[in-house]
Chain A
Amino acid sequence: MSIRTEPMTVNIGPQHPSTHGVFRLRVTFDGEEIIEVEPIFGYLHRGTEKLAEERNYTQIVTLTDRLDYVSSMINNQAYCLAVEQLMGLEVPQRAKYLRTLTAELQRVASHLMGIGFFLQDLGTLGTPLMYAFRSREKILDLFEMLCGARITLSYSRPGGVFFDAPEDFWPALDQFLADFHSEFQELEQLVLENEIVMVRTRGVSLLPLDVAINGSVSGPTLRASGLGWDWRKMAPYDAYDRMEFDVPVATGGDNYDRFWVRIQEIHQSIRIVRQCIQQIEPGPTRADVPLVLRPEPGAEAYGRVEASKGELGFYLVSDGGISPYRCKIRSPSLMNLTVIEHLLVGWRLADMIVTLGSLDINLGEVDR
């Protein structure tokens, strides 16, 4: 005799502590096993692309802060690269270095948060998260020193960065780098080889490379599946062509690999920051750009960066006015979400939460 069972449909989200925002998944379970997944998003839709059509080119920088709100610096940079392409602006060297430096600091901050919440999803009581935040706070302090804000930075502007770093920024940065090593080592010791983390994440939610490529997956998620695709290497922007760094690549494509790639990227980012400090030279930090920009009618540009979550692109079309005719945002979180069904079906409820954490999506960017 067999027991009659029924599948059970559960809404995970939009109000759920582990959906990293207001993401919603309609999941059909057979017991604890997932048999069907339907992602639903749009709860945080603010119409950024449409709003951009009504702002002038500098004002849009403030909108980009609010896309992936844990890595505003990189969003600003991506947008400004697009505008600079559109206008044919030349960015001063020092600004390029400052952008590279801040983008890498922001990448560290964003990855720290990604790792922290990933481990939170694994069921730790916030200890790794607290350790991650301990370091992240210091990065935000540095940002406050630079541009007066901690999250919504608007530091990059078309033509450079809005202002040079204050004098006490450099000693503070050195202090941060000195402290960061031991703090991050603690986090690594706590979780990197932890047996429970291993059994929970090894071989779980595999993402084969072909599925990843077909799904336009990018960033650490793609690199964990075995392809060393990184725009900082493939098409270096700002000062990345003068930086020496490695691209961590894992081959398993499971949750642990995604987590591992992020940890290693933090090390590489710190390496880049150190090189920036060595190489940066005095000079202007912003090109001679008026407050209101007017590209030529019909001009188009696509600026892309390797953001902390993957390829972030801004496609701008100008009609000759002071605001873009069209601003299309290619957000990595949304693209990485396209493989979610492949990742989740067949795994369990507990794995689902962890997998979602390992993708490190940000709903500000998914819904835009």
Chain B
Amino acid sequence: MYGIAMAKGLLVTLKNLTKKPFTVQYPEERLKQHPRFRGEEFVWYEERCTGCASCAKYCPLGIIKIVTTPSETAPAQGDKYKLELFDISIERCMFCGLCVEACPYDALFMGSGFEQGQYSRKGMVIDIDQLRNADKRPSAFFRPQLEDAGYDPQGGRPLDWQEVGRESWQWHEREKAGMKIARPVPSDLLADGPRVDSSFVEDSVPEPKATDGPAPAGDAE
């Protein structure tokens, strides 16, 4: 009969009147964030960073600016480049996480915050000092070692660089074992695999002549 479905609808809304609201009163209550949350305030471990600028080259928007100088330390003490500048201009960042994915040394992590609103654009650039002094609670995004350890950036303690070391996963393992990457990527195409044109970082270094795969060098240890 006409009107029955409307009466049913009225009952549905009446039933919901007595239910607990599903919304969350944000500043007081917060939803649980998952460990993989891709947030602002990147976590960067200078000790692990070699200044290779993979992140800058891989950023789709080219918002990471890195300037390095050859280091003065002896190779025995861990030869690497010295970082002059490491700016992440998060006003244009879309938090895709590709920089984290590209980092071969697990030096860069996503953060887990989302409340970095600023009144001016100038404040939207994270510079190297901010990165150094930031609270180091890395997100587990693309870092299975943190996930396996059950680390939660929301409740967990800050981690230092030795604790976030990378765990080899499938293709790294194979690389270490000296295996060529199987079908379907022809090996000659892989020759200059990890090199990327970056719209931001000028590539003035002569092309490295790698022969077996993308093979980023092993860990610092």
Instruction: List residues of chain B with CB within 8 A of the CB of A106.
Output: none
Instruction: List residues of chain B with CB within 8 A of the CB of A63.
Output: 60
Q: Which of B139, B183, B195 contacts A90 (CB 8 A)?
A: B183
B36 interface hit (Cβ, 8 Å)? yes
Contact assessment for A163 and B6 in the assembled complex, using a CB-CB cutoff below 8 Å: no
A284 interface hit (Cβ, 8 Å)? yes
Q: B116-152: contact bitstring with A at CB < 8 Å (1 yes, 0 no)?
A: 0000000000000000000000010110100100000
Q: Which of A35-43, A97-105, A285-293 contacts B (4 or more CB under 8 A)?
A: A285-293
Contact assessment for A154 and B144 in the assembled complex, using a CB-CB cutoff below 8 Å: no
Q: Which of A188-196, A207-215, A309-317 contacts B (4 or more CB under 8 A)?
A: A188-196
A205 interface hit (Cβ, 8 Å)? no
Q: Which of A26-34, A53-61, A236-244, A326-334 contacts B (4 or more CB under 8 A)?
A: A53-61
Given contacts A90-B184, A163-B142, A291-B101, contact A194 B5 (CB under 8 A): yes
Q: How far is the CA of A58 from the CA of B147 in the complex (A)?
A: 24
Q: A137-164: contact bitstring with B at CB < 8 Å (1 yes, 0 no)?
A: 1000100111111001010000000110
Q: How many B residues touch the partner, as a band?
A: 35 or more
Contact assessment for B181 and A291 in the assembled complex, using a CB-CB cutoff below 8 Å: no
Instruction: List residues of chain A with CB within 8 A of the CB of B34.
Output: 141, 144-145, 148, 166
Given contacts A162-B142, A186-B16, A195-B6, contact A144 B94 (CB under 8 A): no
Q: Which of A58, A90, A193 contacts B98 (CB 8 A)?
A: A58
A203 interface hit (Cβ, 8 Å)? no
Q: How far is the CA of A131 from the CA of B36 in the complex (A)?
A: 27
Contact assessment for A88 and B94 in the assembled complex, using a CB-CB cutoff below 8 Å: no
What's the nearest-Cβ distance from chain B to residue A53, in Å? 12
Contact assessment for B144 and A288 in the assembled complex, using a CB-CB cutoff below 8 Å: no
Q: How far is the CA of A294 from the CA of B184 in the complex (A)?
A: 11
Number of chain A residues close to chain B: CB under 8 A:
48
What's the nearest-Cβ distance from chain B to residue A91, in Å? 11
What's the nearest-Cβ distance from chain B to residue A178, in Å? 16
Contact assessment for B9 and A322 in the assembled complex, using a CB-CB cutoff below 8 Å: no
Contact assessment for B170 and A59 in the assembled complex, using a CB-CB cutoff below 8 Å: no
What's the nearest-Cβ distance from chain A to residue B112, in Å? 9
Q: Which of B3, B141, B181 contacts A290 (CB 8 A)?
A: B181
Q: B29-54: contact bitstring with A at CB < 8 Å (1 yes, 0 no)?
A: 00101111110000000000000000
What's the nearest-Cβ distance from chain A to residue B171, in Å? 5
Query: Which residue, of B36, B196, B199, has the highest number of chain A Cβ atoms within 10 A?
Result: B36
What's the nearest-Cβ distance from chain B to residue A123, in Å? 13
In terms of DSSP, what is the predominant structure of the interface of chain A? loop
Contact assessment for A290 and B214 in the assembled complex, using a CB-CB cutoff below 8 Å: yes
Contact assessment for B141 and A148 in the assembled complex, using a CB-CB cutoff below 8 Å: yes
Instruction: List residues of chain B with CB within 8 A of the CB of A58.
Output: 98
Query: Which residue, of B34, B94, B213, has the highest number of chain A Cβ atoms within 10 A?
Result: B34
Contact assessment for A292 and B94 in the assembled complex, using a CB-CB cutoff below 8 Å: no
Instruction: List residues of chain B with CB within 8 A of the CB of A294.
Output: 189
A200 interface hit (Cβ, 8 Å)? no
Which residues of B in the span 132-180 have a Cβ within 8 Å of any Cβ on A?
139, 141-142, 144, 147, 170-171, 174
What's the nearest-Cβ distance from chain B to residue A250, in Å? 19
Seen from chain B, the residues whose Cβ lies within 8 Å of a Cβ on chain A are 2-3, 5-6, 8-9, 11-13, 15-16, 22, 31, 33-38, 58, 60, 94-98, 101-102, 110, 139, 141-142, 144, 147, 170-171, 174, 181-185, 189-190, 193-197, 199, 213-214
What 12 additional pairs, Cβ within 8 angstroms, besides A89-B184, A149-B37, A192-B5?
A: A56-B196, A88-B184, A148-B36, A148-B110, A152-B96, A163-B142, A163-B144, A288-B174, A288-B185, A289-B185, A290-B181, A294-B189
